[in-house]
Amino acid sequence: MDIHLCIDHLGLNRNSYRLNQSNPPHAFVSWGGPDPQPTDSVLEGAWTEIQNNSDYQAHIADTEKMQYPLGETNG
């Protein structure tokens, strides 16, 4: 589960938070702001909604198609 995406999906962007690491799996280290910290069950529900969203699935498919050159040389 990507907590950053879940926070955005839940509309909790006006809060500040720190995670124990950037990439999933990660967990909250701190939370501050006007809204209460979302529970694990709320985050899991948001993640399920995100994964079931056809726009998100299309984005993932496009990302998987991206290919980056591994170090082309000229000459």
pLDDT digits (tens, 9 = 90+) for 10-51: 999 999 999 999 999 999 999 999 999 999 999 999 999 999
pLDDT beyond 70 at 63: no
What band does 75 get if pLDDT is binned at 50, 70 and 90? very low
Asked if 12 and 48 count as a contact pair (C-beta separation under 8 A), the reply is no
pLDDT beyond 50 at 5: yes
Question: What number is the average pLDDT over the span 56-74?
Answer: 63
Two tokens, residue 33: 């702001």
CA-based nearest residue to 22, from 45, 3, 38, 8: 3
At 38, phi and psi to the nearest 5?
-70, 145
What number of H helices and E strands is found in the chain? 3, 2
